Amino acid sequence: MFNLENLFGKSTRGRRLKSADRVSGALPFITAGETDQGISAFIGNDVKVFSANTTTIDMFGSAKYRNFKYGGDDHIAVVHTNKLPKYASVFVTSAIHKSSYNGQFNYGRNFYAKDADALDISLPVKDGKPDYEIMETIISAIHKLVIKDVVLYVEKKKKELNKLTENANAVKC
């Protein structure tokens, strides 16, 4: 078990930006929620920009990996995993989500940056320290399996479509 603050320093959070005050732009703006991965708008406002390869945790405890720069409102905590390799950061995000998204946070009891700092997560260990190399290997393997499954699915659908086309052509003759 590892404490997030000990691993990544203090978590931070964005600032409130009411919908009416948002200026249209290119920067993804993250708020609480599952719809569109929490991206509520693309803004041009002058806000704090968070680094890519970080993790957000919304007010309900839902953690998401961000592979892009973004702004965020005061209902998200940002865990600064940006110094980790990408796949290790994805693994850590999954561990955070498992620890934080357990039903204890809701509209009456929001998850805040201070909650992230107090959060303990379970990670693989090597010599008493987080084994980021094995985390990368695991996520890389999962990534490859998913890609393989998608390729197989597309090939299957192509075959089905070809068979339908052949049958339709045979009926026309």
For residue 58, give the CATH number of its domain: 3.90.220.20
What mean pLDDT comes out for the span 73-80? 93
Is residue 54 in a domain?
yes
Query: What per-residue confidence (pLDDT) applies to 173?
Result: 63
pTM: 0.80
39 CB-side CA count, 13 A: 15
75-92 in b/e burial notation, b at 16+ Cβ within 10 A? bbbbbbbbebbbbbbbbb
Q: How many domains does the chain have?
A: 1
The DSSP element (H or E) to which 99 belongs, if any, is: helix 86-100
Query: What per-residue confidence (pLDDT) applies to 51?
Result: 94
Instruction: Tell me the pLDDT tens digit for each residue of 114-164.
Output: 999 999 999 999 999 999 999 999 999 988 998 988 998 999 998 888 888
Is residue 162 in a domain?
no
State what percent of residues in the chain have pLDDT above 70: 99
Instruction: Tell me the pLDDT tens digit for each residue of 17-41.
Output: 988 999 999 999 999 888 888 899 9
Domain range for 7 is: 2-148
Is residue 66 in a domain?
yes
Is residue 95 in a domain?
yes
Is residue 94 in a domain?
yes
Query: What per-residue confidence (pLDDT) applies to 103?
Result: 80
Kindly give, in sequence order, each residue whose CB lies less than 8 Å from that of residue 97, ignoring residues fewer than 6 positions away.
61, 62, 63, 64
Is residue 154 in a domain?
no
Instruction: Tell me the pLDDT tens digit for each residue of 90-103.
Output: 999 999 999 999 88
Is residue 167 in a domain?
no
Other beta carbons less than 10 A from residue 117's beta carbon: 17
Is residue 171 in a domain?
no
